Structure 1
Amino acid sequence: MIELSALWEPIRLSLQTAVAALLIVFVAGTAAGWCMSRYTFRGKLIIETIFLLPTVLPPTVVGFLLITIFGTYGVVGNFLYSLFDLSLMFTWTAAVITAVIVAFPFMYQSVKVGLDSVDRDIENAARVDGASEWEVFLFISLPLSLKSIISGLVLSFSRALGEFGATFMFAGNIPGRTQTAPIAIFTAMEAGNMTLAWTLVIILVVLSFAMLLSIRTFAR
């Protein structure tokens, strides 16, 4: 018999974490994609490589770097703790930060690809007609790259929802606080509770399948 709280809490935390991360990633990824697609500057290749680095780094490396930066004795973490008595490690905020880091590359890359495919002549024609850069971006560039943006949103949400290793290291495994569904699956397996583990796995598989199916349906 599965306790409802043991099933619901990890799913709730995963969804809340993924949604919060998605809101941040949408703004940051869209802005970064626009800048990298529309402007050329020194060091652009290095910056773009840094943006995409989380996709190839092992989760333990990402977790270690987050602890080094945002941990109590990290560069940012020590500053926050000294000034505001604020510690990010082993909090829900830490889970969100981790989700943002691992999901950002998917949003950024999707937006950049979408914007790269937009005909620049259309944008230039709008500028000639008196449209501001903001109007060009909002009413021309974004609508014409909408499919790529939606694909980026779905992929970013899926990545944030399934994050495990870095979250485990940085946010910990605290039931009802930082124990997301992937971490709950690991914990259930260690405890021999395969019924709970399988139930969580099935829920995540169904969610992931639905999101991937929505991408393919929308892109047709």
Structure 2
Amino acid sequence: MVLKGQYLERPALIPVGREVMEGVAHRGQVRPPLLVLSPTPEEGGGMDHVIGAELAFAAATAGHATLRFNYRGVGGSQGERGTGAALIDEAEAALTVVLENAQAPTAAVAAMHGSARVALGLRARHSGVAGLCLVSPRGVTPGELTGLGRELLVVVGELDTTLPRAELARAVDAAGGTLEVVEGAGAHLHHALPIVGRQVRAWLKRLSGN
């Protein structure tokens, strides 16, 4: 039994082709639900990544349904590890599950590191993406953020120099989105996880129209 105020994710199975990926989900009534994309398998990412866990916790405690999962070939997920379009297929399968679980028409997507490119591909392919949050994005150029609108949130550490900061700020501003720079933090944001959680919670509140 889950008592009031407790946070308990439940196992979730995500079919993709003939295989099944593992995930964990949390129920919630506030829309949009949140799909969390961990760093890519190439980066050694998985659904237990500390940033992903923090984002899921922040969203769930604000009343949003959440889903985070392991790509194929990671953890208990079946199949071989993929790249490129294969990862977008897997993210789309997870998006379908989170929409069905929440009985919602759209979901927010938060992606970490190299999964930023997966999130961009998913948005281009599926109309069910209500907004994108890119945390310490990798493998994208600032110009690719054009047209994403006010539904875009980009979170980077002050000490993370992977993307050119001035160019990134201009691109996010031109898109109408929000850039959050976490003071004193590097790419992994370890000491600033609660700050990132609050930023994502505020972003979800904007997406919900509240």
Give your verdict on TM over 0.5. Answer: no
Select the structure with the greater relative contact order (CA < 8 A; seq sep ≥ 6): 1
Larger radius of gyration: 1
TM value normalised by structure 2: 0.31
Higher normalized helix content (fraction of residues): 1
TM-score (norm 1): 0.30
More strand by share: 2
